[in-house]
Amino acid sequence: MATPLRLKELSKKEVLLTAGHRMCSGCGAPIIVKMVLLASEYPVVACSSTGCLEVSSCISLLTAWKIPWIHSAFENAAATIAGTETMYRALKKQGRIDKEIKFITFCGDGGTYDIGFQSLSGAMERGHDMLYICYDNGAYMNTGIQRSSATPFGADTTTCPAGSVIPGKLQKRKDLTKIMAAHNIPYVAQASPSHWLDLMKKVRKSLEIKGPKFMNIIAPCNRGWRSMTDDAILLSRLAVETCYWQLYEVEHGITRITVTPKEKKPIIEFLKPQGRFKHLFAPENEWMLKKIQEDIDKDWELLLKAAVTEKEEEK
């Protein structure tokens, strides 16, 4: 069983992603990586597919990673870490390794929802003992802010620009967390860096569970979201409080809501600080705001119905 998280103890741990990397000021991704690595009580081997995190954290001989870390191609990070985990198990059987090591991938939504989905789905189905973490910033930020299937409805990107032809992206974002839960793997969760204790508890719990695990973590990108550079935690908190980004877990098929907003805020509070949504506040796009709110309300009600209560679990 994972030990409790205590701030005093965490403050004494070594930060395993160093300062001096080239991630944008205020980016959500390195915040997430630091939290995940601080949460782990085990040595970690990590892998990242091509993306913002990869190109900015390891340049030629210069690296910000203080753990064994592998750069994989855009489409196969899950296969890379699955192969590494398989090699580890073989070496353990041979008695050449006796240390308990955990294997984690850190990939953006482009390399997870889209290009790398086949690799991810295959690794989960095969049952590798690994944790796959998607830092979800909702577009292909590293290559020019192109839409991905994680891009929310109405967002303005370089490949679905809001203008006279279309009012931004016209498709609803893919619900990858539910798709991963449908793989019947032991553990799936959504988390947010604004709720650090919830995030780190989920990481620690997942690393104690044998088999494949998946976590989807919202990662604000001020460049692509066109927001302030110090808004990552504010926006990730608003995402939770508006129920745009629901915090829940699915453990061995049981769904639990881990954070319920005290007051469910309207989605416009999450959208307004982001330039990618400013066109939605024009009178002709009022229908889009209404649709976004209706979809979020519906999804939240469905989650409430699917989740068990504490009383039900006690029975």
Per residue in 303-315, pLDDT (tens digit) is: 999 999 766 776 6
Residue 311: its pLDDT value, please? Answer: 64
Residue 81: its pLDDT value, please? Answer: 98
Residue 5: its pLDDT value, please? Answer: 83
Q: pLDDT band at residue 8, thresholds of 50, 70 and 90?
A: confident
**Is the Cβ–Cβ distance between 160 and 153 less than 8 Å?**
no
Per residue in 238-260, pLDDT (tens digit) is: 999 999 999 999 999 999 999 99
Phi-psi region of 51 (alpha: psi -120 to 50; beta: other; left: phi over 0): left
Token pair in block for residue 41? 């009580």
Average pLDDT (97-120) is 97
Residue 315: its pLDDT value, please? Answer: 64
Token pair in block for residue 17? 């992603």
Residue 237: its pLDDT value, please? Answer: 98
Question: What CATH class does 17-314 carry?
Answer: alpha beta
Give yes or no for residue 79 having a pLDDT over 80: yes
The proportion of the chain whose per-residue pLDDT surpasses 70, expressed as a percent, equals 98
pTM for this entry: 0.96
Residue 314: its pLDDT value, please? Answer: 65
Q: pLDDT band at residue 15, thresholds of 50, 70 and 90?
A: very high
Q: Distances from the Cα of 124 to the Cαs of 108, 179, 181, 225, 273, in angstroms?
A: 17, 11, 10, 31, 36
Q: pLDDT band at residue 7, thresholds of 50, 70 and 90?
A: confident
Give yes or no for residue 62 having a pLDDT over 80: yes
Per residue in 146-197, pLDDT (tens digit) is: 999 999 999 999 999 999 999 999 999 999 999 999 999 999 999 999 999 9
Average pLDDT (8-28) is 92
Residue 11: its pLDDT value, please? Answer: 86
